[in-house]
Chains A and B, each alone.
Chain A
């Protein structure tokens, strides 16, 4: 599904070149549950943006479904993001003026999906996220956990192959955080490739495969017990 080959990502900060990613080689199969951990500045967010096609490597190749994405132009990358990738952010990034249903609908609107089909899919997503009675609520009328579930519904409405979560529980209390993690894991059970970037050791340890990063390199890459017992 995902294959990174000799990926470098350099940033120019003043006169210094910062190696945010330093020769990353990584393969991720379909349906994996992967956590990326590491201290601040270790390059995990850069890796996530790169995997999500929001950023391009300075050198190296990124194959997504056997296609080299480094050859694609802006338009094609946007289309790939829409089809393959779902993002879940720490701060939810819901549009405050839109209702929960409208926020969830947005990726389908951008993709030009027919309105009838959109409404059906949104209704189904609201149902499965237990948000059916919150459809017409604006984000500020929702709790943190509900907001993140709206964001997850939005991220998965286009049936993406990969779900990228950047500290998905970072702004939530423990109970709703757990609730959100379980929701993500249920999606993984149904076949979505789940990649979670986190500081939180407890959250990181729930994944079947854990990557630790340090100074732009992959320090360790290990399989773990997937008993979901870490939390």
Chain B
């Protein structure tokens, strides 16, 4: 029986003898594999990006959201839950008593015009307390953050990010200036350092005022969220039940809040983004099927061009099985070469993406590399079965007949 090594040598010589046909098929398979690798690396990059964002917020973070959602936080829609009963500053103050909470920040949010000497920008305004700085792990570049006063106190002070400073003040000094937010005036007391982001919103664009001032500005007594950080990860269940008990007692026995943990959000995003990665990987894998069909057609042409050769092989004692084997080895060699070329291009491509967009950790997942090579191989082999069978069934008498 024909040895594998000799079969590979024979197939290799056949591939080299038909270099343009070979390159065409390598290209088809290579593009398929490379697109799987690059697209999944983008999906994976998005997943890692989100994951990093969340861990920068601290893993012991709890978010109290007004309104009860029965799916208990494993659903990002709770972020937009509608309250039955508003969360208030008094609720936040009641929660602060627990000894295992290290920081607690009430949070409010709205959009308003920010103006200084005719420079105007409409921007999101965040209302909170001094604790937000520690919760968000931000840093102050200049001045100081919101003063550590009682939550009720609506001091007319504001802390801004560098973009806002540049847009409003340009080359002027921002510190100590009075700016107008909506119909109120605030004094700039601090500028945030550019490091870090928060949920897609750049720190550079932040405008932060005391939570009581934000309530007055947006004419509301409710809170959008309460952020709190628990001292240890183990204390999360204890603190969670404390929060539910406390709020229930304060809201006439109604449990009308949802507590979102960092883990739950992260799990949700991981699930979504992993599905996304599988989906784009799957779509890219369709190109491998297309490559398979191309291989089938080109192999069919190759088989009819090599009718004489196949007839000759049979006359030299090759059985149908050996002919089938030789053609399949040729297809396997071709798809493997194409697949590895594609892997190389794909990994280079995602490296290029990481260079061009350093925020996006676009590392192709290992499974994508393995699966794309396997899919290429399987599709190449399956689609070569037809031409290989055609070749193996050639009648040598007819194949060798003189023209």
Contact = CB atoms under 8 A, between A and B. Distances in A.
B72 interface: no
Contacts of A52: 315
A107 interface: yes
Contact of A74 (B315, B319, B397): B319
Interface string A113-144: 00100000000000000000000000000000
A93 B400 contact: yes
B315 A110 contact: no
A107 B317 contact: yes
Given A91-B402, A93-B312, A109-B2, A79 B319 contact: yes
B356 interface: no
Contacts of A158: 317
Nearest to A110: B318
Contacts of B318: 78, 110
Interface string B375-403: 00000000000000000000011001010
A106 interface: yes
Contacts of A91: 402
Interface in B1-41: 1-3, 6, 10, 13-14, 16-17
Contacts of B397: 49, 54-55
A96 B1 CA distance: 24
A62 interface: no
Nearest to B318: A110
Interface in A78-123: 78-79, 81-83, 85, 87, 89-91, 93, 95-98, 102, 106-107, 109-112, 115
Nearest to A164: B315
B321 A112 contact: no
Given A49-B397, A110-B2, A98 B13 contact: yes
A154 interface: yes
Contacts of A106: 313, 316
Count class of interface residues, chain A: 20 to 34
B312 A54 contact: no
Contact of A81 (B311, B317, B321): B317
Interface residues of B, number: 27
Contact of A112 (B2, B313, B320, B396): B2
Given A95-B309, A97-B13, A109-B6, A89 B316 contact: no
Nearest to B15: A97
Contacts of A97: 13-14, 16-17
Nearest to B396: A54
A110 B322 contact: yes
Looking at B313, B316, B319, the one whose CB has the most chain A CB atoms below 10 A away is B316
A175 B272 CA distance: 80
B134 interface: no
A49 B399 CA distance: 12
A82 B316 contact: yes
A86 to B, nearest CB: 9
B6 A54 contact: no
Contacts of A55: 397
Given A97-B14, A97-B17, A112 B1 contact: yes
B165 interface: no
A97 B176 CA distance: 85
B314 interface: yes
B308 interface: yes
A74 B321 CA distance: 9
Given A82-B316, A107-B316, 11 more contacts: A52-B315, A74-B319, A78-B314, A78-B320, A78-B322, A83-B317, A90-B402, A93-B400, A97-B16, A110-B317, A115-B6
20 contacts: A54-B315, A55-B397, A75-B319, A75-B320, A75-B321, A78-B314, A78-B319, A78-B322, A83-B317, A87-B315, A87-B316, A97-B13, A107-B316, A109-B2, A109-B6, A110-B2, A110-B322, A111-B2, A154-B316, A158-B317
Interface of B: 1-3, 6, 10, 13-14, 16-17, 308-309, 311-322, 396-397, 400, 402
